[in-house]
Amino acid sequence: MAVTLKDIALKAGVSITTVSRGLADYDDVAAETRQQIRQIAQELGYRPNLLARRLQKQRTDTIGFILPTFGPRFSDPFFSEFLAGIGNETAVHEYDLLVSTHAPDSPGEQQAYQRAAQGGWVDGLIVVRTREDDARVRLLHEHRFPFVAFGRSCCDLDFPYVDEDSVAGMRLLVQHFVDLGHRRIGFIAPPDNLMFGRLRREGFLETMAANGLEVAPEWLVTGDLTQRGGAEAVGQLLGTGLGVTAVIASNDLMAIGAINRIQQHGLQVGRDVALGGFDDIPLAAYTSPPLTTIHQPIYEIGRQVCAMLIALVNGLMPTPSHILLEPTLIIRESSGQPLAPPTSS
Amino acid sequence: MAVTLKDIALKAGVSITTVSRGLADYDDVAAETRQQIRQIAQELGYRPNLLARRLQKQRTDTIGFILPTFGPRFSDPFFSEFLAGIGNETAVHEYDLLVSTHAPDSPGEQQAYQRAAQGGWVDGLIVVRTREDDARVRLLHEHRFPFVAFGRSCCDLDFPYVDEDSVAGMRLLVQHFVDLGHRRIGFIAPPDNLMFGRLRREGFLETMAANGLEVAPEWLVTGDLTQRGGAEAVGQLLGTGLGVTAVIASNDLMAIGAINRIQQHGLQVGRDVALGGFDDIPLAAYTSPPLTTIHQPIYEIGRQVCAMLIALVNGLMPTPSHILLEPTLIIRESSGQPLAPPTSS
DNA sequence: TTGAAAGCGCTAACAC
DNA sequence: GTGTTAGCGCTTTCAA
């Protein structure tokens, strides 16, 4: 079927070894022979069998990315942006990228990481959406399998990561709303087991406290990071007449869901309710009203994580190996105008 | 390093073959031996080396997906949705998914397909965004390499595909605007070399003609399918005072860019200008105003294409092998209310 | 400068 | 039931 070294060797009347060396630009093969070998390889349309080569070389030039997905789909623009970063970086280094999806903390996920770490068909892994105590991180660390994480985790372990400073980001966002005059601010929190979930929640509470503001327990609702989750959460926040004047969603996707639901309540985002998101996904600028949010260079993070990993599998410990990015506040219309000072009634 | 069959064989005092068979549940190995083998494998934490297995079996249980990207990134929600479909389907069949990105019609792309078709490290390929005369399709067809396309192409070749009926979709959309009373309709066309580009354009022109409506050449602007492209195109359409009352963007991403630009012109989408998109990406329902568009079950298409491909690499010609999906019209607010009949001045 | 031989880790035909 | 042998396609000592 496919053309192999053997075919070329036969046709050229030399040994397989020589062909191999000729094509690999070894310096110890006669220029003439090399010439001829190349010629024939060209004619026959030879392509090396990568599996064979990889088996022999014991490296795959492939990195793996196992996407944690809730539910049957992972159509999260955040990941799509992140994946773009990884994908382009792998391309630059002529690596392949193996993608698969598994529900977080599922047996399937566990197994996938096992397979990856020991099956020898990827050289390294990218771990995203770290959990507070992350079995994946522990597993890979234990096997000394190369990986780079987006997000911190398991604080007792040392491993390379890139992370955004969630606490700082949330501080910017909350302070923005406080400065606009808001005192009663609702928070759509991420699931608590996610590392960034805990940090964003902390950032929120911390900044509220720093401003001497109370947070009633009912103002804190957890959402599942999807649009639907955001809609439901904001529904809870609005439905019961809690009287919050602003809502912070802990990611843009939930914020987008929230916009929709708020409008269904007959309210206008940015006028009746101020709203903020987090991530600055590409579409955040195109919602209506455009979303005030915290910018993360998602694409860039993907690129960087991937570059670090490739360095790592090549035996170079990337420096620095712990990167913490400073987020920035992007003010758009969803956060509205400064509130009139409350009438003293 | 990694535990191999040999290690187990040594420890169990049997041959490598027996171990292999024991673990593979062959029926011709003594229950007792099998028991012991499994036991030891377990203890040692054995994981089969997939490369070796694949090299031997001459199949990789991996399918490839080469994403055509303009520019350095591919953060297109359409693809992210599509990828979700593929990803989940591969998972169901326990296949791996290899993803890479290349600029359309670039040498890199060409090479990637060559490698894939002959490098033996994927069993089949998914081709998307078919071009009218598609080098990729020709190449794969020529090599008899298994692939399934999303989109038709090269009409002289027979290959399995799933496609949406672009002409029918555009007909629905245009007719909707005509029925609302619009007569001067601008069109943001897709690049013409894309198969669906030609078809959507045809659908537009055809339906306009069927309604006896002129299309001034200036009402046709080509965009590059991105938000920015949509914004620029609509800018052209509005800036020169062409007086179109409605604009149809040939995909949602451009429509979203258009919304933005229209607002910058001080106009309101759905009131001053009617706007339509195409694809119904998940965010189309969340723009402001929500987007009237043509629905394609993107996730489902991804799933289906992938399922067909997996059937194909397993030697089953999928039936039917040509699927044409009927799109549906989703009316949201961006297309606005019926126009008042023009005053007869 | 070239070839023979071994081996990467696994599976499978064939013998015993 | 189990072992021997061969081989997937390639790279890489080691001799010639």
pLDDT in tens, B77-123: 888 889 989 998 998 999 999 998 888 999 989 989 998 888 888 99
For the beta carbon of residue A315, count every other beta carbon within 10 angstroms.
7
Separation of CA A56 and C1' C7 in angstroms?
Answer: 8
The reply to whether the CB atom of residue A6 sits less than 7 A from any atom in nucleic acid chain D is yes
Residue (of B277, B296, B300) closest to B287 by Cα position: B277
Question: A interface mutation test: which of B94, B288, B301, B306 has the most A CBs within 10 A?
Answer: B288
State residue B341's pLDDT score: 65
3-state secondary structure of A66: strand
State residue A343's pLDDT score: 55
| Residue A173 CA neighbour count, 13 Å, CB half | 39
Chain B contact set for A116 (CB, 8 A): none
Using CA atoms, how far apart are residues A251 and B200, in angstroms rounded to an integer? 35
Model confidence band, residue B343 (pLDDT cutoffs 50, 70, 90): low
CA angle, corner A46, sides to A41 and A51, nearest 5? 135
Residue B62 reports pLDDT greater than 70 = yes
| Residue A150 CA neighbour count, 13 Å, CB half | 27
State residue A345's pLDDT score: 46
Which residues are CB-contacts of B10 (< 8 A; sequence separation ≥ 6)?
Answer: none
* Residue type present at position A221: V
Give the A:B interface size as CB pairs under 8 Å.
Answer: 162
User: Would the CB atoms of B51 and A121 count as touching at under 8 Å?
Assistant: yes
**Strand-pair partners of B246:** B185, B274
Any idea which nucleotide's C1' is nearest the CA of A7?
D9
The reply to whether the CB atom of residue A267 sits less than 7 A from any atom in nucleic acid chain C is no
State residue B264's pLDDT score: 87
* Residue type present at position A268: Q
Tell me which protein residue sits closest to nucleotide D7, measuring alpha carbon to C1': B56
User: Would the CB atoms of A283 and B72 count as touching at under 8 Å?
Assistant: no
Residue B289 reports pLDDT greater than 90 = no
Contact by Cβ (8 Å): A41, A12: no
State residue A240's pLDDT score: 72
Contact by Cβ (8 Å): B137, B143: no
- For the CA atoms of A250, A251, A254, A258, the dihedral, rounded to the nearest 10 degrees, stands at 70
Residue (of A276, A283, A287) closest to A327 by Cα position: A276
Which residues are CB-contacts of A15 (< 8 A; sequence separation ≥ 6)?
Answer: A9
Q: Model pTM?
A: 0.91
Which residues are CB-contacts of B230 (< 8 A; sequence separation ≥ 6)?
Answer: B188, B223, B249, B253, B254, B255, B256, B257, B258, B261
Share of chain B above pLDDT 90, in %: 74
Which residues are CB-contacts of B170 (< 8 A; sequence separation ≥ 6)?
Answer: B199, B200, B202, B203, B204, B206, B207, B248, B250, B278, B294
Mind listing the pLDDT tens digit of every residue in chain A (345 residues)?
Answer: 689 999 999 999 999 999 999 999 888 888 899 999 999 999 999 999 999 999 999 999 999 999 888 765 556 888 888 998 999 899 889 899 999 888 899 998 998 999 888 888 899 999 999 999 999 999 999 999 999 999 999 789 999 999 999 999 999 999 999 999 999 999 999 998 999 999 999 999 999 999 999 999 999 999 999 888 999 999 999 877 768 999 999 999 999 999 989 988 999 999 999 999 999 998 898 888 899 999 999 999 999 999 999 999 999 888 889 999 999 999 999 999 888 765 554
| E strands present in B194-298 | 220-222, 246-249, 274-276, 293-295
Domains and CATH numbers, chain B: 5-48 (1.10.260.40), 62-163+299-323 (3.40.50.2300), 166-296+330-335 (3.40.50.2300)
Using CA atoms, how far apart are residues A150 and A153, in angstroms rounded to an integer? 10
Contact by Cβ (8 Å): B302, B83: yes
**Omega within 30 of 0 (cis) for the link into A320:** yes
Question: A interface mutation test: which of B4, B50, B90 has the most A CBs within 10 A?
Answer: B50
Terminal Cα-to-Cα distance of chain B (whole angstroms): 87
Residue B345 reports pLDDT greater than 50 = no
Separation of CA B33 and C1' D2 in angstroms?
Answer: 10
Using CA atoms, how far apart are residues B22 and A216, in angstroms rounded to an integer? 61
The reply to whether the CB atom of residue A15 sits less than 7 A from any atom in nucleic acid chain C is yes
Q: What is the mean pLDDT of chain B?
A: 92
**Sheet with B147-150, edge to edge strand ranges:** A322-325, A161-164, A147-150, A124-128, A62-68, A96-102, B96-102, B62-68, B124-128, B147-150, B161-164, B322-325
DSSP H stretches of helix in B93-184: 107-119, 135-142, 166-179
3-state secondary structure of A160: coil
Residue B176 reports pLDDT greater than 90 = yes
Q: What is the pLDDT of residues B198-255, one digit of tens each?
A: 999 999 999 999 999 999 999 999 999 988 899 999 999 987 776 899 999 999 999 9
Using CA atoms, how far apart are residues B151 and B172, in angstroms rounded to an integer? 19
Note the strand D nucleotides within 7 A of protein beta carbons: 1-5, 7-13
Both tokens of residue B70?
């303009």
